Amino acid sequence: MQFDQILQYTLSGLSTGAIYALIGIGFSIIYNATGIINFAQGEFVMLGGLLTLSCLNVLKLPLWAAIPCAIAVSTLVGILFERLAIRPLRHPTPINLVIITIGGSILLRGLAMLVWGKDTHSVPPFSGDAPIAIGGATILPQHIWILAITLIIIFINKIYFYHTISGKAMRACSYNRRAAGLVGIDVKRMVLFSFIISSAMGAVAGIIVAPLTMTAYDVGIMLGLKGFCAAIIGGMSSGLSTVIGGLILGVLESLGAGLISSGYKDAIAFIILLLILFFRPQGLFGKADSERV
């Protein structure tokens, strides 16, 4: 095998990894604010891509308008989900929460199938598809978009969690919900906020990846699970560790698919997931390093 080949797989792995990171951070934000693993997280990724498509084709919006529109609608779905499914739950035991978020995810997937059908749809890339050569490898402009947008979102996230009142309140909730409530933080509102942020981030991930991989009503399962895997590697942090987790997963998957077997590509993520859960449930970088926001 050649160096060029490995470079190629690594580069494309990094951009898929960035997507996993965005989804993983979405998982972590909700988990840290509420203790819930939202099994419906992947469905927001699916909604982002398919809603952009509808905004482009049905509403005839230009791309710059279609994207915020798709994010807004996905976020609205996230709000509805929290209001209608999570908040009214009378016995929020972990098993009930797993079942209800799974129910929600299937419901969303089914509704998407009803609206967009079972076909795979392609979304046009943001700025053409002329390949760019880097060393012996080539990447598409969309890869650069993905990496740049991911970086920007992580930066905004950092500012939100460390330099705004509501971000700090959310961090307080993640350390101790009861104590946060006692100092006057509206915990229920923070829960809603966490759903808003993660559904918006999921939608962004879905929008930027759609031109690369195509999209369909059922892409949410796999992307969601891999995002969760990234979050687990990162120890459920909503910061850098999950980003690194996503990138590691993306690169390993891409190298595994290219050099070993593409059929087992999806298994790699789950084997990593199981190994981390069994041997390092606190994440690859340990609790001390990971910021739990």
Partner 1 sequence: MKRNFLLFIGFSVLVMLAPQYFRGGYMMNVLVFVGINTMLAIALNLLLGYAGQISLGHAGFFGLGAYLSGIMTTTFSLNPWLAMPLAAIAVGCLAFMIGFPVLKLKGHYLAMATLGLGIIFFIIFNETYEWTGGPSGLSGIPYLELGGISFDTDVKNYYLIWAFTLAVMLFSLNLASSRVGRALRAVHDSEVAAQVLGVNARLLKVQIFALSAIISSLAGSLYAHTMTFISPTSFGFNFSIELLTMVVIGGLGSIYGSFLGAALLTLLPEILRGANDYDIIIYGGLLMVMVMYMPGGLVRGIPALFRKLTGRKGGADHA
Among 18, 273, 284, 293, the residue binding partner 1 under the rule CB under 8 A is 273
Question: Which pair of structure tokens corresponds to residue 25?
Answer: 């951070």
Cα end-to-end distance, the chain, whole Å: 42
In contact, 30 and 93? CB cutoff 8 Å: no
Q: Is 60 in the site for partner 1 (CB under 8 A)?
A: no
Nearer to partner 1, 29 or 108 (CB): 108
| Cβ at position 116, least distance to partner 1 in Å | 13
**Residue 189 CB, nearest distance to partner 1 (Å)?**
22
Stretch that binds partner 1, among 15-23, 126-134, 195-203, 276-284 (CB under 8 A): 276-284
Residue 90 interacting with partner 1 (CB under 8 A): yes
Q: How far, CA to CA in Å, does 115 sit from each of 109, 224, 283?
A: 10, 21, 38
What's the Cα-to-Cα distance from 80 to each of 91, 176, 206, 218, rounded to whole Å?
19, 26, 19, 21
Indicate whether 115 belongs to the interface with partner 1 (CB under 8 A). no
Among 17, 48, 49, 104, which residue sits at the site for partner 1 (rule: CB under 8 A)?
104
Do 21 and 150 touch, CB atoms closer than 8 A? yes
Minimum distance of partner 1 from residue 130's CB (angstroms) = 35
Please, what is the minimum distance in Å from the beta carbon of residue 100 to partner 1? 5
Task: Compute the least distance from the CB of residue 8 to partner 1, in Å.
Answer: 24
Is 45 a binding residue for partner 1 by CB under 8 A? The answer is no
Instruction: Please list, in sequence order, all residues whose beta carbon lies within 8 angstroms of the beta carbon of residue 182, skipping any fewer than 6 positions away.
Output: none
Could you give the CA distance from residue 13 to residue 241 in angstroms, rounded to a whole number? 17
Site for partner 1 in 168-227 (CB under 8 A): 221, 225
Question: Candidates 7-15, 109-117, 167-175, 249-257 — which segment interacts with partner 1 by CB under 8 A?
Answer: 109-117
Assess 286 for contact with partner 1 (CB under 8 A).
no
Q: Are 259 and 2 in contact (CB under 8 A)?
A: no
Residue 25-44 contact track with partner 1, rule CB under 8 A, x = bound: ------x----xx-x-----
Query: Does 274 participate in binding partner 1 (rule CB under 8 A)?
Result: yes
**Selected binder of partner 1 within 45, 67, 108, 223 (CB under 8 A):** 108
Candidate list 75, 109, 244, 258; residue touching partner 1; CB under 8 A: 109
Distance CA 139, CA 93 (A): 46
Q: Segment near partner 1 (CB under 8 A), from 11-19, 107-115, 136-144, 171-179?
A: 107-115
Does 264 bind partner 1 (CB under 8 A)? Our answer is yes
Contacts with partner 1, residue ranges (CB under 8 A): 31, 36-37, 39, 85, 88-91, 94-100, 102-111, 113-114, 118, 221, 225, 228, 232, 261, 263-264, 266-267, 270-271, 273-274, 277-278, 281
